[in-house]
Amino acid sequence: MAEIFSLTLDTPAYKGGVTINTGLFINGKWVKPVDEQKIEVVNPTTGKIITAIQGGSSKDVDLAVNAAEEAYKTLWGLKVPGSIRGQMLLNLANLIEQNAEEFAALEALNCGKPFASAQREVAVGCVQELKYYAGWADKVHGKTIETTENKMAYTRREPYGVVAAIIPWNAPLSMLAWKVGPALATGNTIVVKPSELTPLTALKFASLVNEAGFPPGVVNIVNGYGNIVGNAMAYHPRIRRIAFTGSTLTGRKIQEASAKSNLKVVTLELGGKSPNIIFDDADLEQAIKWASTGIFANMGQLCCAGSRIFVQEGIYDAFMKGFSAAAQHLQQNAGDPFSGNALHGPQVSSTQFNRIMGYINSGKADGAQVYTGGKRHGNEGYFIQPTIFTEVKPTMKIAREEVFGPVGVVMKFKTEEEVIEIANDISYGLACGIFTENVSRAIRVAQALEAGTAWVNTYNTIEISVPFGGYKQSGIGREQGECVLEHYTQVKAVHINISLKL
């Protein structure tokens, strides 16, 4: 039996306890890894250790796959009707909702995001997500297909069996639900690796799985480092499908591992360097607010962040005045996520902090101008000021590579044709934003931009029912909506001879 971690918080935002089991969750039980090792989990607000969790290895992945495979064959999969799978997902969603404040506290403590943001992640990104896929569980249908009068043909959508998910650290609870919801709704069993940086809410999630009614082995969570546990999952010959959210570099390695192992189906939601285009006929006040949300939400730690901001020259000066004021307002309200009024928290780790500061220094060295921010905030934790660069050339490193932090680059443009060409001249294609009051222009530019999601007069407003994913090196496949169910099922065609005789 692994150890229990408990902590009592007495803060303006949350007063109460948080408790997790620090072990691996395999076959419905909390266990220690075969080769026991500890991974320290750090509070990014202070830089101090919160607790240590158990870290697994390939041996533990084998055990989890064994449990998931046995559960699929004997207790789950096609043996359990979709209506019952849906009820269990609904039970899990309701249990998380009942413990929402503790989940939010764990997320804020572990990730550094303001408590109010963590509350929204629990309510929308997790609870509503699971409820949505609970509703889909008995609605995954095949089709009958007309062929000839001598034959009947139909299709079935069947689960893969054992699937896997590797979860990022920027929105760990949401991303967990994004993977687990459709996987279980469609009858698969799953092995999950949460990020070693932010595992706490995944472990709390696991503690409710049995209570929700899921048979042992349907959900398994193996903590560990990506190069150990994640690598073992990517190469595992009995994992039929793997979903990953994270960097493009790691996504390439997972796809390579699939090719070298068992050709498991791979879906990848990867990096981005998304353009956010502000035309001179935009509602300026709204454009400023959404542009700020686009780049500074979650401290810039969003794959779809609107980090390349193109502003038409007619409103450039007015936009910059308002945009810099928005950044400075966030800076003035940076601090402890539990303070009750914090709007801007720390980066998730010292590694991420140093990486972002490296990009800021690169921008300065390349001749870009820091319009506001550009420095560390405070002396404790991993806080970086919301930063805006101007005088940026499209060829600069900060304009081409994903920073994954609160760093936006602003570039002036003249014409629609010019900005479309520059916006598309990049290896990423996850999202884009368009701000204009001209409907024809909005539709025209949305169609011209090479991105999986186009937001018009809004930004970062993801909907559960709408597909999300990238073009080019921003990924393969889609999350969310009905579309993702296709990625968790495979089509079987059945041909029945009803009168043909040889």
3-class DSSP string for 197-225? CCCHHHHHHHCCCCCCCCCCCCEEECCCC
Using H for helix, E for strand and C for coil, what is the string for 433-465? EEECCCHHHHHHHHHHCCCCEEEECCCCCCCCC
Handedness of CA 278, 283, 288, 289 (dihedral sign): negative
CA atoms within 13 A of residue 132's CA, in its CB half-sphere: 25
The C-alpha atoms of residue 502 and residue 488 are separated, in whole angstroms, by 39
Question: Left if phi > 0, otherwise alpha if psi is -120 to 50, otherwise beta: which for 288?
Answer: alpha
Q: Could you give the residue ranges of the DSSP H alpha helices within 137-283?
A: 172-185, 200-206, 231-235, 248-260
Rg (CA), the chain: 24
DSSP state at residue 186: T
Provide the annotated active-site residues. Answer: 269
Give all strands (DSSP E) within 397-442, no chain letters.
Answer: 407-413, 428-429, 431-435
Beta 453-456 vs 38-43: how paired, if at all? unpaired
Strand 387-390 relative to strand 369-372: parallel, antiparallel, unpaired? antiparallel
Q: Are 221 and 192 in contact (CB under 8 A)?
A: yes
Residue 19 Cα to chain centre, angstroms: 24
DSSP per residue, 342-389:
--B---S-HHHHHHHHHHHHHHHHTT-EEEE--SB-SSSSS-B--EEE
117 by Cβ neighbours in 10 Å (0-12 / 13-18 / 19+) ranks as buried
Residue type, 497: N
Length of the chain: 502
In the chain the first and final C-alpha atoms are separated, in Å, by 64
Category of 317 on φ-ψ map: left (φ > 0), alpha (ψ -120 to 50) or beta: alpha
Buried-state track 50-68, b at ≥16 Cβ within 10 A, e below 16? bbebbbbbbebbebbbbbb
What kind and span of H or E run contains 104?
helix 100-111
